Amino acid sequence: MSRLQDIMKDKQKKAKLMDILGIAAGCVVVLIALVTLVINLMPATAGVKDSEVPESALHLTGVGAGRNGDITVEVVADESMLYQIKILDQNETQNIGSVAVDQLPARIFQAQSLKVDAISGATLSSDGIKAAVLNALESGGIDAALFGGEKIKVETIAKRVETHSGVTVMYAAEWQEQYPEIYDSWTMTRNNDEVVDYLEQYPMLPTLYEPYGFSFSYGSARGHFYDVTDITETGRPHAMANCWTCKTPDFTNMVNEQGIEAYQYLWTDVQQQVNEGISCYNCHANTPGEITVTHTYWIDALGEDFEKVDAANMACGQCHNEYYFDPITKETKIAHNSIDSMSPDAILAYFNDPSNFGNNEIFTDYTNPRTGVQQIKVQHPEFETYLGEGSQHRLNYTCADCHMPYVTNEEGKTFRSHELISPLDNPELIENECSKCHADLEAEVRAVQEKVEARTYSVGYELEFLTELLAQAVESGEVPEETLNEVRMLARNAQFYWDFVFVENAEGVHNPTLTYDCLDKAEALTNQAINLLRK
């Protein structure tokens, strides 16, 4: 009996010991979790001691877009030195993005430069930290370039076209023998031959664009191979030669040789001299291998910032931008002259300032006959969107990096394809580059596009409702003219922000942050206008 009692006592002791060990293990787990939480909450800091910071140094705060949200930093600096870098707030993934949070501030401080390599496996987090530091410096009036800060990737600077030089356009076929692979890839832009009828797909457009040409004929653009065919066969009438802008090297060279007077020719006069759509001259000015901006209005549009943008972006941006035709001279112009002035807000402010135009009136593409709203028809602002605030990729990639992949022929020669494809159609790019940050790029792209598309429809229908409500108010004569004018300006601005998103060809993917911001503003302005009419 005593033996049995001893065994039972031993079991009880072991059970108590196991309980104690279990409690201890649980405490250790909790302690580790608490320590981890404290570490995550503590700001990641790099730099000198507080006592070594001069009193004249500025304490600045900046925000950048990380992988999982905004990253907030505090930078203590002056124009001679970065003294401290502290990450105040972040939500980066533990053991992935958090590695950049822990290590990158020290790299930047030690190098005294933002030109440091991203932390391997945490590129988006690294880019967010760099952007936050750059924005902090600029908020205090410190030129981030002093510390290698760049908003936009720059590897090669484009050349500027020589005007009035007596050159004639060399067409693509003339380079075929010397550059056969590139020529063949250029001709492959004919593969993009699908045309979407936007008026059928977006039923609100006839109302929003009334009575402009886009209200009765609006199909999607095809590849460069079809530029001349598309503009010639469109259902929209063309009066002036300026409609040939960005459609053919023939007109581009005509402007370069004759000056802005060429814009005042009749469209049909130029048509007789057109031989080819977008081709070699537009981006190379008869000098293959050298990127040259051939559109002088684009050179003016970047002003002193011309050399702050990579040549590849400049070549594409000279056509893929938000342009307008001057109401007096009819020349093609851009509503900005620097990187900072190309935001949607700044462009809208430009259009709304009568002093910018020779007729001393706000800029108007067309006026709705039923509402009296002086509308702006946005073009295709890919450049302003992709390189605008909020872009996560503008510091690391150019248009060519994503849309003109390198191809190796049978002889081992590597060249850039001029077929111009979506990154989603480039498995090699996704596997070797995009996968560093994106587990499933196609799924992420589709998610953004579906969200943007849904909001584009919803805000578009709200704008359509506002247009009809305003038309009824005008017809009734019961609403004071002062109120009508206030609503008209709200409607004009709202549709500008909506159109900025609608006509941008990436459906939000080039810059989701800027895209959502435009849609938010469009919706808010629309609702404000509707509420005014309902009072």
- CATH, residue 138: 3.90.1010
Residue 436 included in any domain:
no
Residue 427 included in any domain:
no
- Residue 465: both structure tokens together: 């409702």
Residue 372 included in any domain:
no
What does the pLDDT read at residue 411?
86
Same domain, 164 and 201: yes
336 touches 342 (CB < 8 A): yes
Which domain does 268 fall in, by range? Answer: 159-341
Same domain, 208 and 100: no
Same domain, 129 and 51: yes
What does the pLDDT read at residue 364?
97
Same domain, 251 and 139: no
- Residue 354: both structure tokens together: 């009568």
What does the pLDDT read at residue 74?
96
Same domain, 127 and 194: no
The residue ranges of DSSP E strands in 345-456, in sequence order, are: 366-367, 374-375, 406-408, 414-416
| pTM tops 0.85 | no
145 touches 113 (CB < 8 A): no
Same domain, 91 and 182: no
Same domain, 35 and 54: no
Percentage helix, strand, coil for the chain under 3-state DSSP, each rounded to 5: 55, 10, 35
Terminal C-alpha separation, the chain: 95
Residue 226 included in any domain:
yes
What does the pLDDT read at residue 40?
44
Domain limit, last residue, from 90, 113, 147: 147
> 217 vs 92, 103, 199, 314, CA distance in Å?
47, 55, 7, 30
Same domain, 86 and 19: no
Residue 386 included in any domain:
no
Same domain, 62 and 38: no
| CATH code for position 231 | 1.10.1130.10
How confident is the model over 419-463, as pLDDT tens digits?
A: 999 999 999 999 988 887 888 999 999 999 999 999 999 999 999
393 touches 445 (CB < 8 A): no
- Residue 320: both structure tokens together: 């893929």
Residue 379 included in any domain:
no
Same domain, 188 and 333: yes
What does the pLDDT read at residue 6?
58
Residue 260 included in any domain:
yes
Same domain, 76 and 219: no
Same domain, 200 and 65: no
| Dihedral sign (CA 119, 124, 125, 129) | positive
Domain limit, last residue, from 318, 341, 364: 341
Residue 231 included in any domain:
yes
Q: How many domains does the chain have?
A: 3
Regions of the chain short of the pLDDT cut 50: 1, 4, 32-42
